[in-house]
Structure 1
Amino acid sequence: MEKKPRGPPTNLSLSSSSSLLSFSLSSSPLSSPPMAILLVLFFFVAAIPSVPPVLAAPASSTAVSFTPQDNFLIDSGSVANTTHSDGRVFISDQTFGKYYSSQGRDVLITVPSADVPSRIYLSARVFIQEAVYTFHMARPGWHWIRLHFFAFNNTEFILENAKFSVMTDSLVLLHEFTIDASATNTTKWFFKEYLVNVTAERLSLKFVPVKGAPAFVNAIEVVSAPDILVTDIGSTLFPVAQYNGLVTQSYQTVYRLNVGGPQLTSRNDTLGRTWTSDGQYLQPKVSGNNVSVAPSVIKYPEGGSPLIAPQSVYASAVEMATANVADPNFNVTWNLEIDLSYQYLIRLHFCDIISKTLDDLYFNVYINGKMAISGLDLSTLTGGLATAYYKDFVVNSTMISTPLSIQIGPMNQGTGAKNAIINGLEVLKMNNSVGSLDGEYGVDGRSLGGVNKGTVAAVGFAMMFGAFVGLGAMAFKWQKRPQDWQKRNSFSSWLLPLHAGDTSFMSSKNSLGSRKSQFFSSTTGLGRYFSFAELSEATKNWDANAVIGVGGFGNVYIGEIDDGATKVAVKRGNPQSEQGINEFQTEIQILSKLRHRHLVSLIGYCDENTEMILVYEFMSNGPLRDHLYGKDLPSLTWKQRLEICIGAARGLHYLHTGAAQGIIHRDVKTTNILLDDNFIAKMADFGLSKDAPTGSEQHVSTAVKGSFGYLDPEYFRKQQLTDKSDVYSFGVVLFEVLCARPALNPALPREQVNLAEWGMQWKRKGLLEKIIDPHLIGNINLESMKKFAEAAEKCLADYGVDRPTMGDVLWNLEYALQLQEASSQGKAEDENKALAATAAPAPAPISTPDNHPNALPEQSRTPKEVQAVDEHSGTAMFAQFAALNGR
């Protein structure tokens, strides 16, 4: 495919006349100009021929336009206004020169003609010393900043040797930038596009030449962008979670691809953007086929908008090139070079323009080989065919390699078409921690390492000397840590709240300090009130060595109250942690309704001054995971594991059914199952919990949250949460208990990475005993293991409707416990020779902590009885548990 030159993006404009007028009025001083100037300006504007607006979508029922309140278009170096090829008028910076200032000499240069897409590239302003453009904003919010460059030949300056920086008051756009022809295209013209959330009344663009080299610019755009263009929430990968804070970032456009279609210029886009063709990035090209439909057939869902991407983008796509062969099983890949020093916002655009019927296309999306979307079902998400959909991902590039790869491939689920598509792709670089989009230094000279640029040379020797001192201090500090420091500082959310009476205090969304008065009072039913002094004493003045858990809310400390008689866990909120505080509040809201022996209990609280502290029972044996692997603790027996799983299942069953409105935990995993002194299991960490649907609703539509490896694939695919999502996660927990290994382990061979998939493979082979925890071999009843594995397998069904309830799971686990106990009892009796081999009586039913009747062990039943139980799968027989209530 012939590589097309990259066209310049253009801005949002009403018309040539309105563009000029908006610039002149927004740039005028506060005092009224003389009438003569107004008359001249009026006739000058009236003389300019009007042109159609460029901010309109292609004609259709979804046509939309956007009128930018700030619309500065400047042709730098020109002595007259210039009309862009798309009809927009760029104003000469000579016309409004008082908004431009320079500390030294600058030169206006022009070239009569050149192979460029617009005449704005035929003039330039060259800076010898620092220069500033200042723009007065009509409104805050998102703004495009586009800088246009063309290093044309000039007798006085060799523009290809230019080297300079460009920055705003708080953001570095370019740092010691050089014109590298090999990085642009053969015609040497190019542009840099940024998306910045402007919050001040003025925006300054400062050009700073590097000594001995010039700086220059051909044209500048500063134009308002719609608020919906970037919302605050996206998704992260590795692991999958929600990312908050997109509106606080600034962005540089690295790639914007019209996948499967031609290049789209500013005349074709709803916001003056340029979309390049994807052909040069598709590897290999034969793996994908271009498909397209008429743009007019593209629809947008409720809440969607052509401002996100025009119909022309969604009207073309790339699908699998051999999708019609007998068994397609490959991915279509786009490789994109990126700078691994930054995070990136990756926006993927999809629109099903190939299916003939609904629910026929399911496919997977990968980012650098990692699953980004599993089983993408566009017709369910959008409610129809040919309907636009996009998804934002935030990727920390230090966790991936270059080039960045975007892949689509078939789901191979046995139903529907085996195909995959993608319509558009955007990659936006995010500013780093010092506010730079180019290099390690911020506007104030700070580097990513925290050192001011001007002091680097001066402190070099001191840093070398300090390194030796620091190493010694670190070694001394490490020796002073307690031996179990690593265990006690694991990233487990140990203790969470259970009971609070009044939830009205949750209405405030301000900072922690201002929130205090609404959050706690002595009448909220949060239990015992503690003074701050009491809790400081209990935690030895918040000793760092007393930290037993770390979360987004702050730290959890072990403490002793009542003169050391009672150990507690003290969760102290961090005022700067807004995200953690939100989850902190959710725990209170959810669990204020509940009390159960298998949920961690709240003891009391402190609301003194601006503090927000909760006190819980101390779970001395920590999370279940620590007793399975990784901590070198004594191995749990099979009976202990069954009892722990039963306790956790009871807690989840009560969450789903014990309140007037059920609750979905949404983060079931082995670190959230805590063990007390007697290894009684209690569910914890309700920061992600959601109320279950009520009435006719079957699910809760919500962003995907949870822990990678435990996520329900149906919830991940459809973003529809049900209590069966908890059931799926619990199925992963059951395999984790049986095999004593993590849910995900990337260090293992590919087929073993995902525990759920690996365990299911061996279960179906009937060889599950080959992969169980070696500590269990010879100590586990195979029938008990079989019943346990059957329960896990049912939990991991692909579709929620095929999974059991937590009540059914609980029944099967208790049955597995009876089989294990009966087997152990039989072994003991054989060893004591207390039972005749030919007349062994059937073991009596085992009573459980909840005093519910239990089925007889399978060994003592007739074949007919056993068959009846299996056919019921626990559903009907579990009716006796329907009245199970919390304690």
Structure 2
Amino acid sequence: MTGGKKHGAVRPFTATTPPPVFSLLYLFLLVLSNTIVTINAQSKSPRKVSFTPADNFLIDCGGPKSTQLTDGRTFRSDPQSTSFLYTTEDIKLSSGINTSSISPIYLNARVFSDKSTYGFSISQPGCHWIRLHFYPFTNPRYNLSTAVFSINTDDIVLLHDFSISNSSIPVVKEYLITFNKERASLIFTPNKGSFAFINAIELVSAPDGLILDTVTNVQPAGQFSGISNYALEVSYRVNVGGPNIKPEEDTLGREWKPDIEFMEFAATAQNVSIDHRSIKYPDDGSVTPLTAPVVVYSTAEKMADSNTVDQNFNITWQMTASHAYSYLIRLHFCDIVSKGLNELYFNVYLNGLMGASSLDLSSLTSGLSTAYYKDFVINATTIINDTISIQVGPATGSDSGTPNAILNGLEVMKMSNSAGSLDGPYAVDGSYHGDYATKSTVTKIMSAIGLALGVVALILLGMMLCRWRRRPAGWEKKNSFSSWLLPLHVSQSSFLSSCSKGSYRHRFGSHKSKSGYSSFFASGTLGVGRIFTFAELQHATHNFDEKDVIGVGGFGKVYLGELEDGTKLAVKRGNPSSEQGIHEFQTEIQMLSKLRHRHLVSLIGCCDENSEMILVYEYMSNGPLRDHLYGSTGLPPLSWKQRLEVCIGAARGLHYLHTGAAQGIIHRDVKTTNILLDDSLIAKVADFGLSKAAPSLEQTHVSTAVKGSFGYLDPEYFRRQQLTEKSDVYSFGVVLFEVLCARPAINPALPREQVNLAEWAMQWHRKGQLEKIIDPHLVGTISPASLKKYVEATEKCLAEYGVDRPSMGDVLWNLEYALQLQEASMGQPNDDPSDNSARHILPESPLVPIQEQRGLATIDEDSTPEVTAMPLIEGR
């Protein structure tokens, strides 16, 4: 490494080879690198700005000559020398491949077979961008997708054991690193037996003040200082509400992606935009066109105008993140929706925590359409399920008129950990920092306790197995369920033990199933009842005839099947290409293998042949509750008494989920399409693909990403991402209004005030005129006392805060009370809605519920499920 300190010299050398001597070519490059380069990548953007970086290294690695891009930037080839041949080699993309859609910098690569270094002379210390470009093409000598290697600077690990497998598009890793010395290095270290490669490198000075050193800390609330002490990796850069911004359209070469792939519940938001020429930047220079392109500030997402959205809901974006790191989050704002000052007040939440309360952009910027941004740090302890959630929502109690909230852009940057790494627990010197995930001492102690408990559990399991082996003759016949029934507990049966003669090991032992299911089954922890052969199910479903499809979801399709003995089945066939479907399949097996209740759809068995994953359920001949309310014109309307009985059945199933299992279970997707009816109109709850284990006694909630069906979602869960059993109670409250009014929970085709059923019904209830919107088929058939008790229960279910909602057991009690009031008012049970005889109104007096509570939290072992139900699941 030689050369003038201020000349920005760059050349690679090996760790074992002395720096090469100067050559005429090298001297020429030194002079060339000292030329001032002005970046003006926004020649096609609405507003042209320019920036002249002090350091501007653009390298086309392995290229034979300089390469000029369409944005005017020139990538120079890295210097060549025979002293590199032992550890480096330049390769090209194989001929015959269409390269019209690929940037020229990806047509070549430099390969390192040993540890090698690029050295840079830094002319102005400070924050620099490093962008590493990778395109794993295949070359006659190298298949770049097999390379495994690490990259670090002198102080920071950028990539550890990095590889790119079968990527059809280039991969760019982008970093912001502060260099305080006059020299900087990029060190490539191949793993043993492998090699490293790189297609292009950018090392460019960032504008002064681009990253502030002190920002807002979310938890604990306060200020976070010393950002310059951390290396940053750009994880996401999003143009909210706007189009994709390509690197050549941004002065600083940044790419801004649209927000649609990150938005949860897109119906909550609406795109807005204004002419970019209307955007202003503050006079104090705190925000400039270099902070973000003008296009970012001229587009936004705001709250949807229609009542499709509960005014307490927030617009939400979710991104994958690692719980081992803290993150710097920059949010870009520009009030392009208000007509006057101080009209827009909204809150900002990060991972369910308050980031900014009652943000008033017009006060902060002294005007409308003025660019503004705010930085936050969220630490690793706030990241749950490896997810970052960013939400904006209306500030409660503001007098600004119509509630609204906006966001124009966002950037998410990973911060280096205590090892000085952005990719794992190993420091540059190879030392291991096991606390890089910021584990607390309490967490370590709990892990040790958990390990000890696990050992004890294994010992107890061994003792139980010994006792099981010594069971008396005839035990199995006396105590086991029929092969048609699902075992009660996982320990009583496992998938592996059900597969005879090692068929599982034969099929999956030596390779991974294409469907990706085999590893899940291989755990041997699931009780799945009868094992069907693929041929059996092919025959039962007429070779999975499309005419037999009775349901479609993210997992695949549900087919109506019939065995030779006439038994009807619902056959759910997984779609191997659906990652969501695989996850929901796994969750459903895990849940149903532990549950059995008269009001839960029963899992009968499965099939694992031919890389398939097929689950078999009882068939519910009368389909989903929704079809009996408004979904199918060919079905007769249910009477009020029948509707009450269906709601009571569903409530019993949910009450059992919450209290009857070993650990409570939250369904998380309660709706009328997931309440199925058998041939006797017995209601059973179905679809456990989104279910979650309830919080333990020491917890108040489960922190998890928001999932469910719009219109039924608990607004508190949506807002805080804290799931409890009361979230199911809220959803069930929507179901109760749906049953009463016979209309969907959300219907965008209706006038604005009627779109959201829960809000619309509550408005009429507050007026004391709810009877005006009930199902016309029920008019004149409902006892006022029964209706009053039913609506009281529904209103409590829909309370804004979970602590104010009843338990599912309380809801069940009230529904049974409403049924008794209805039957008493009619003189006797009567399912005929047209029969008005003996109908009268009783005074409200305490009655004993029909269903005794003691039976709800026990497993219904005596009732063998009729094999007659269908787990119809709507696609989400």
TM range (shorter): 0.5 to 0.7
Residue 233 of structure 2 aligns with an amino acid whose one-letter code is: P
> Do structure 1's residue 88 and structure 2's residue 95 form an aligned pair?
no
Instruction: Say whether the 8 Å CA contact 2:345–2:405 is kept in structure 1.
Output: no
Instruction: Say whether the 8 Å CA contact 1:653–1:806 is kept in structure 2.
Output: yes
Instruction: Say whether the 8 Å CA contact 2:570–2:617 is kept in structure 1.
Output: yes
> Do structure 1's residue 618 and structure 2's residue 619 form an aligned pair?
yes
* 2:584 matched residue in structure 1: 583
- Cα shift readout 1:29-81 (whole Å, capped 9, x = no counterpart): x9999944569748965997899xxxxxxxxxxxxxxxxxxxx99999xxxxx
Specify whether residues 267 and 362 from structure 1 end up closer, same or farther in structure 2 by C-alpha distance, changes over 3 A only: closer
Specify whether residues 551 and 878 from structure 1 end up closer, same or farther in structure 2 by C-alpha distance, changes over 3 A only: closer
- Cα shift readout 1:378-432 (whole Å, capped 9, x = no counterpart): 99999999xxx98579xxxxxxxxxxxxxx774556899998765752599xxxx
Residue 638 of structure 1 aligns with an amino acid whose one-letter code is: W
- Cα shift readout 1:461-484 (whole Å, capped 9, x = no counterpart): xxxxxxxxxxxxxxxxxxxxxxxx
Q: CA deviation at 1:100?
A: 5.4
SS of residue matched to 1:729: helix
SS of residue matched to 2:641: helix
* 2:521 matched residue in structure 1: 519
- Cα shift readout 1:537-570 (whole Å, capped 9, x = no counterpart): 1111111111111122221111111x24211111
Structure 2 CA distance for aligned equivalents of residues 234 and 321 of structure 1: 29
Instruction: Say whether the 8 Å CA contact 2:796–2:805 is kept in structure 1.
Output: yes
SS of residue matched to 2:684: strand
> Map of 1:116-515 to 2, 5 A cutoff?
132-133=104-105, 134-136=107-109, 226=233, 228-229=235-236, 234-238=262-266, 262=282, 274-276=292-294, 308-309=329-330, 361=358, 391=389, 410=394, 424-425=408-409, 501=490, 512-513=514-515, 515=517
- Cα shift readout 1:563-594 (whole Å, capped 9, x = no counterpart): 24211111122222222011000011122211
* 1:25 matched residue in structure 2: 12
Instruction: Say whether the 8 Å CA contact 1:320–1:419 is kept in structure 2.
Output: no
Q: CA deviation at 1:722?
A: 0.6
* 1:741 matched residue in structure 2: 743
Instruction: Say whether the 8 Å CA contact 1:132–1:204 is kept in structure 2.
Output: no
Residue 752 of structure 2 aligns with an amino acid whose one-letter code is: R
> Map of 1:440-839 to 2, 5 A cutoff?
501=490, 512-513=514-515, 515-516=517-518, 518-519=520-521, 524-561=526-563, 563-632=564-633, 633-825=635-827
Which has the larger displacement, 508-517 or 752-761? 508-517
* 2:858 matched residue in structure 1: 885
SS of residue matched to 2:551: strand
Instruction: Say whether the 8 Å CA contact 1:84–1:120 is kept in structure 2.
Output: no
Specify whether residues 359 and 783 from structure 1 end up closer, same or farther in structure 2 by C-alpha distance, changes over 3 A only: farther
Q: CA deviation at 1:88?
A: 2.4
Runs of 5+ in structure 1 lacking a partner?
1-14, 52-71, 77-82, 110-117, 124-128, 140-166, 171-196, 206-219, 242-253, 285-299, 333-347, 365-377, 394-407, 429-495, 841-856
Structure 1 CA distance for aligned equivalents of residues 730 and 34 of structure 2: 65
Residue 235 of structure 2 aligns with an amino acid whose one-letter code is: I
Residue 884 of structure 1 aligns with an amino acid whose one-letter code is: A
Sequence identity, in percent? 48
SS of residue matched to 2:550: strand
Specify whether residues 833 and 283 from structure 1 end up closer, same or farther in structure 2 by C-alpha distance, changes over 3 A only: closer
* Cα RMSD, aligned residues only: 6.2
Q: CA deviation at 1:321?
A: 8.4
SS of residue matched to 1:711: coil
Specify whether residues 511 and 412 from structure 1 end up closer, same or farther in structure 2 by C-alpha distance, changes over 3 A only: farther
Residue 626 of structure 1 aligns with an amino acid whose one-letter code is: D
* 1:68 matched residue in structure 2: none
Specify whether residues 555 and 256 from structure 1 end up closer, same or farther in structure 2 by C-alpha distance, changes over 3 A only: farther
* 1:474 matched residue in structure 2: none
Residue 236 of structure 2 aligns with an amino acid whose one-letter code is: L
Residue 578 of structure 1 aligns with an amino acid whose one-letter code is: E
SS of residue matched to 1:579: helix
Residue 265 of structure 2 aligns with an amino acid whose one-letter code is: L
Q: CA deviation at 1:516?
A: 2.3
* 1:438 matched residue in structure 2: none
Instruction: Say whether the 8 Å CA contact 1:625–1:670 is kept in structure 2.
Output: yes
SS of residue matched to 1:696: coil
SS of residue matched to 1:652: helix
Q: CA deviation at 1:859?
A: 3.1
Runs of 5+ in structure 2 lacking a partner?
44-49, 77-98, 113-133, 138-163, 173-199, 205-231, 239-258, 303-320, 362-374, 413-484, 497-507, 861-876
Instruction: Say whether the 8 Å CA contact 2:349–2:390 is kept in structure 1.
Output: no
* 1:455 matched residue in structure 2: none
Specify whether residues 409 and 583 from structure 1 end up closer, same or farther in structure 2 by C-alpha distance, changes over 3 A only: closer
Q: CA deviation at 1:237?
A: 3.0
* 2:152 matched residue in structure 1: none
SS of residue matched to 1:555: strand
Structure 1 CA distance for aligned equivalents of residues 400 and 356 of structure 2: 7
Q: When the two structures are superposed, what TM-score results if normalisation uses the length of structure 1?
A: 0.52
Structure 2 CA distance for aligned equivalents of residues 282 and 517 of structure 1: 43
Q: CA deviation at 1:86?
A: 2.7
Instruction: Say whether the 8 Å CA contact 1:239–1:707 is kept in structure 2.
Output: no
SS of residue matched to 2:630: coil
Structure 2 CA distance for aligned equivalents of residues 765 and 267 of structure 1: 50
How many residues of Structure 1 are paired with residues of Structure 2 in the alignment? 572
Specify whether residues 530 and 418 from structure 1 end up closer, same or farther in structure 2 by C-alpha distance, changes over 3 A only: closer
SS of residue matched to 2:750: coil
Q: CA deviation at 1:317?
A: 8.3
SS of residue matched to 1:616: strand
* 2:193 matched residue in structure 1: none
- Cα shift readout 1:232-291 (whole Å, capped 9, x = no counterpart): 9833434579xxxxxxxxxxxx9999999649999999xx8644497766999xxxxxxx
Specify whether residues 764 and 571 from structure 1 end up closer, same or farther in structure 2 by C-alpha distance, changes over 3 A only: same
Specify whether residues 718 and 860 from structure 1 end up closer, same or farther in structure 2 by C-alpha distance, changes over 3 A only: closer
Instruction: Say whether the 8 Å CA contact 2:495–2:527 is kept in structure 1.
Output: no
Instruction: Say whether the 8 Å CA contact 1:363–1:420 is kept in structure 2.
Output: no
* 1:98 matched residue in structure 2: 64
Instruction: Say whether the 8 Å CA contact 1:255–1:425 is kept in structure 2.
Output: no
Specify whether residues 261 and 880 from structure 1 end up closer, same or farther in structure 2 by C-alpha distance, changes over 3 A only: farther
Specify whether residues 540 and 780 from structure 1 end up closer, same or farther in structure 2 by C-alpha distance, changes over 3 A only: same
Specify whether residues 880 and 598 from structure 1 end up closer, same or farther in structure 2 by C-alpha distance, changes over 3 A only: closer
* 2:425 matched residue in structure 1: none
Q: CA deviation at 1:609?
A: 3.1
Residue 636 of structure 1 aligns with an amino acid whose one-letter code is: L
Q: CA deviation at 1:136?
A: 2.6
Structure 1 CA distance for aligned equivalents of residues 41 and 357 of structure 2: 50
Instruction: Say whether the 8 Å CA contact 2:694–2:702 is kept in structure 1.
Output: yes
Instruction: Say whether the 8 Å CA contact 1:692–1:723 is kept in structure 2.
Output: yes
Q: When the two structures are superposed, what TM-score results if normalisation uses the length of structure 2?
A: 0.53
Structure 2 CA distance for aligned equivalents of residues 25 and 505 of structure 1: 56
- Cα shift readout 1:796-852 (whole Å, capped 9, x = no counterpart): 000000000000000000000001111111699xx99999x9xx9xxxxxxxxxxxx
Which has the larger displacement, 662-671 or 529-538? 529-538
* 2:369 matched residue in structure 1: none
Q: CA deviation at 1:662?
A: 0.6
